[in-house]
């Protein structure tokens, strides 16, 4: 559980959630590839950001910072989706053979992760300053997530982007 992991691992659980969300982008891409659903859906992004803002306010987190953090998660998801679309277009034999349903199967996973992010952002609030300690902790957590989630270069790059706003409290 994220809360438990935090007490031992600094930013490990928070960065792990980012990695999990980035891996869900593969399912998002699979849901959209070969359909008319675009990678970028501004209306859905607004829903995600509004939900994050209201949960942040309820948790006593800085709303603007929290929204900026979620914007980074969304940009990383689109980076992965674009990378996979390019790969699958160039190598159709690598394209997924099953298409999950975006609304009923994939977005609910992202919504669950949103709630977990809020809990983890709260649990790590004091660590997330513009400090050396935060950056050291962030790099360690990123390396551990690369290994734990077996991230390839595309997903690793996405993870770096997603965690960029972590040490800005
Ligand atoms: C993940 C999706 O793709 C994009 C990324 C989003 C996100 O990361 O939450 C939201 C909308 C889309 O712009 C999606 O459509 O659900």
CATH number at 9 reads 1.20.59.10
Q: Is the CB of 28 under 6 A from ligand 1?
A: yes
Helices (H), 60-131: 63-90, 107-123
Is residue 23 assigned to a domain?
yes
Q: Is the CB of 40 under 6 A from ligand 1?
A: yes
User: Which atom of ligand 1 is the closest one to the Cα of 107?
Assistant: 16
Question: What does the pLDDT look like over 81-115, one tens digit per residue?
Answer: 999 999 999 999 999 999 999 999 999 999 999 99
Is residue 169 assigned to a domain?
no
Helix-helix angle 2-9:107-123, to 10 degrees? 40
Ramachandran angles phi, psi of 168, nearest 5°: -130, 15
Minimal-distance CA residue to ligand 1 atom 10: 45
- The number of domains in the chain is 1
ipTM exceeding the 0.85 mark: yes
User: Which atom of ligand 1 is the closest one to the Cα of 48?
Assistant: 9
Is residue 168 assigned to a domain?
no
pTM strictly above 0.80: yes
Task: State which residues form the domain around 27.
Answer: 2-163
Residue 29 neighbours by CB distance under 10 Å: 23
| Of 34, 20, 28, 26, nearest in space to 116 by CA | 20
């Amino acid at each position: 559980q994220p809360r438990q992991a935090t007490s031992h691992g600094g930013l490990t659980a928070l960065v792990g959630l980012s990695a999990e969300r980035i891996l869900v982008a593969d399912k998002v891409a699979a849901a959209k590839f070969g359909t008319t659903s675009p990678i970028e859906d501004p209306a859905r992004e607004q829903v995600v950001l509004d939900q994050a803002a209201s949960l942040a306010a309820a948790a006593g987190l800085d709303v603007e910072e929290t929204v900026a953090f979620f914007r980074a998660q969304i940009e990383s998801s689109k980076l992965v989706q674009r990378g996979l679309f390019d790969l699958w277009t160039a190598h159709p034999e690598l394209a997924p053979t099953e298409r999950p349903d975006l609304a009923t199967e994939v977005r609910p996973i992202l919504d669950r992760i949103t709630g977990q992010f809020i809990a983890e952002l709260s649990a790590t609030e004091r660590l997330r300053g513009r400090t050396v300690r935060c950056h050291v902790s962030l790099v360690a957590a990123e390396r551990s997530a690369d290994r734990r989630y077996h991230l390839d270069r595309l997903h690793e790059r996405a993870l770096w982007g997603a965690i960029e706003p972590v040490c800005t409290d």
